[in-house]
């Protein structure tokens, strides 16, 4: 049986897969079994910061596999502790709780917020409209995308949403009963929406007034994707907790919740835990990844090449105002908002050898590995222009057929 048919027969059909049977991947390219080569500007959904098959990460994984692959969290594991120390030192946060995924890091933040608030009669949790925080029932209660929520009600009690960037609604909704506000400083799934300075300023001033926690969801925007370790650093603020995942495990499953020193003792022995979270092989890969990214000073590389990329996209926008309504984002977290649905366009782009994504219906989401250079951006732009010409000649010929 063909691979596609076997998948259909044996795997729950929750993913709309791309029409590629992967053979292997290397650097910034994915190779199909049919011999086709794709420039990957989606990076495993913001996971593959160093691209595929990085030698240092690979050898860290193999070395750890030879030592031990799983050990329960009842043991002291040097790689796990070294990764904790490195990320705390780089970020200025006090401690981390390791998880397997981003969603679980958000769950840990929900639990910690509730536990912290329980002593002070604060239970309300807020997130922003159009947000994505994950799909377990706790995280989904915060996520505000109808297509992910429908049919899964009822959600956690005492959870509400504040309209994105709406300072008036923010001021009306939070109060002394608020335990925490969850924020993506740049929304990923929601369409690369950048939070406004005014909103952030008011959020942090209300925190002072009502004494609640601010949780930054840096699962997609974090680990240098926007040119800084975390996207909130562009606003010079310090949230109380930070959820991280995606590139943290260097391609293996790993997430974490970083907490400020005032929260370091809220969850004591037995209050929270996981069998696999902080797996030593994932931590070895994550440690090598974080070492490589920080030693290479990847943040300034991302800012520099990101500015170049953004400029090229803005030039494209100027030439094609009938197609593009806005270019948004920072570093290598970029979105091209189109005037119509972009899913067909992105499929055509793929057939032209470039992988990007269409999110929220009409936003081309671009999340390349952090190691791309200007030449890769130029290849992307050529494919974008070629795809644009093909797309519109198809649209025109459809229109002509209808007219005839």
Ligand X SMILES: Cc1ncc(COP(=O)(O)O)c(C=O)c1O
The distance of closest approach from Cβ of residue 139 to ligand X in the complex, given in angstroms and rounded to an integer, is 7
90, 290 Cβ separation under 8 angstroms? yes
* 15: CB partners within 8 A, 6+ apart: none
Q: Is 132 in the site for ligand X (CB under 6 A)?
A: yes
3-state secondary structure of 337: strand
Residue of 44, 51, 134, 286 interacting with ligand X (CB under 6 A): 134
The distance of closest approach from Cβ of residue 208 to ligand X in the complex, given in angstroms and rounded to an integer, is 26
Q: Is 107 in the site for ligand X (CB under 6 A)?
A: no
Of residues 217 and 240, the one with the C-beta less far from ligand X: 217
Joined tokens for residue 47:
């996971």
Of residues 357 and 387, the one with the C-beta less far from ligand X: 357
Of residues 80 and 103, the one with the C-beta less far from ligand X: 103
Q: Is 144 in the site for ligand X (CB under 6 A)?
A: no
- What residues numbered 241-260 form the site for ligand X, per CB under 6 A? 245
Of residues 22 and 45, the one with the C-beta less far from ligand X: 45
The distance of closest approach from Cβ of residue 301 to ligand X in the complex, given in angstroms and rounded to an integer, is 22
Q: Is 189 in the site for ligand X (CB under 6 A)?
A: yes
186, 195 Cβ separation under 8 angstroms? yes
Joined tokens for residue 332:
């290598």
Of residues 252 and 327, the one with the C-beta less far from ligand X: 252
Q: Is 99 in the site for ligand X (CB under 6 A)?
A: no
H helix or E strand, kind and range, residue 240: none
Residue of 114, 122, 124, 133 interacting with ligand X (CB under 6 A): 133
Choose the binding region for ligand X from 7-15, 90-98, 99-107, 271-279 (rule: CB under 6 A): 99-107
**Comparing C-alpha atoms, which of 62, 34, 40, 60 is closest to residue 52?**
40
Q: Is 101 in the site for ligand X (CB under 6 A)?
A: yes
Which letter does DSSP use for residue 52 in this model? B
* C-beta neighbour count of 163 within 10 angstroms: 15
CA distances from 200 to 79, 167, 191, 192, 347 (A): 36, 9, 19, 17, 36
Backbone angles phi, psi at 214, to 5 degrees: -115, 125
Of residues 107 and 240, the one with the C-beta less far from ligand X: 107
336, 388 Cβ separation under 8 angstroms? no
Which residues of the chain form contacts with ligand X (CB under 6 A)?
Answer: 45, 101-103, 106, 132-134, 184, 188-189, 217, 219-220, 245
């Amino acid at each position: 049986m063909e691979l596609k048919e076997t998948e259909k027969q044996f795997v729950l059909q929750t993913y709309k897969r791309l029409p590629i049977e992967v053979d292997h991947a290397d650097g910034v390219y994915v190779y199909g079994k049919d011999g086709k080569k794709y420039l990957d500007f989606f990076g495993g959904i913001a996971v593959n910061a160093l691209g595929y098959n990085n030698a240092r990460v690979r050898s860290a994984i193999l070395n750890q596999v030879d030592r031990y692959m799983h050990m329960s969290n009842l043991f002291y594991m040097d790689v796990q502790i070294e990764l904790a120390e490195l990320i705390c030192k780089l970020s200025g946060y006090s401690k981390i709780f390791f998880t397997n995924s981003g969603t679980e890091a958000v769950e840990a933040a929900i639990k910690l917020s509730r536990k912290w608030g329980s002593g002070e009669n604060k239970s309300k949790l807020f997130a922003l409209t159009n947000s994505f925080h994950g799909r377990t029932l706790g995280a989904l209660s915060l996520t505000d995308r109808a297509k992910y929520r429908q049919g899964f009600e009822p959600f956690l009690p005492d959870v509400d949403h504040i309209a994105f960037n709406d300072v008036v609604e923010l001021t009306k909704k939070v109060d002394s009963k608020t335990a925490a506000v969850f924020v993506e400083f740049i929304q990923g799934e929601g369409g690369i929406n950048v939070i406004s300075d005014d909103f952030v300023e008011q959020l942090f001033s209300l925190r002072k007034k009502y004494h609640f926690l601010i949780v930054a969801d840096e699962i997609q925007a974090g680990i240098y994707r926007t040119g800084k370790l975390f996207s909130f650093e562009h606003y010079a603020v310090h949230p109380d907790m930070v959820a991280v995942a995606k590139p943290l495990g260097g391609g293996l499953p790993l997430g974490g919740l970083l907490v400020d020193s005032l929260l370091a003792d809220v969850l004591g022995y037995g209050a929270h835990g996981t069998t696999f979270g902080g797996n030593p092989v994932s931590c070895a890969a994550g440690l090598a990844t974080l070492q490589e990214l920080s030693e290479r000073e990847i943040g300034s590389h991302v800012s520099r090449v990101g500015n170049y990329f953004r400029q090229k996209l803005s030039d494209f926008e100027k030439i094609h105002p009938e197609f593009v309504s806005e270019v948004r984002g920072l570093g290598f977290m970029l979105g091209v908002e189109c005037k119509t649905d972009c899913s067909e366009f992105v499929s055509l782009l793929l057939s032209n050898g470039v992988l990007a994504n269409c999110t929220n219906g009409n936003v081309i989401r671009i999340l390349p590995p952090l190691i791309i250079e200007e030449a890769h951006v130029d290849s992307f732009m050529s494919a974008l222009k070629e795809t644009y010409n093909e797309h519109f000649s198809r649209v025109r010929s459809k229109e002509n057929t209808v007219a005839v």
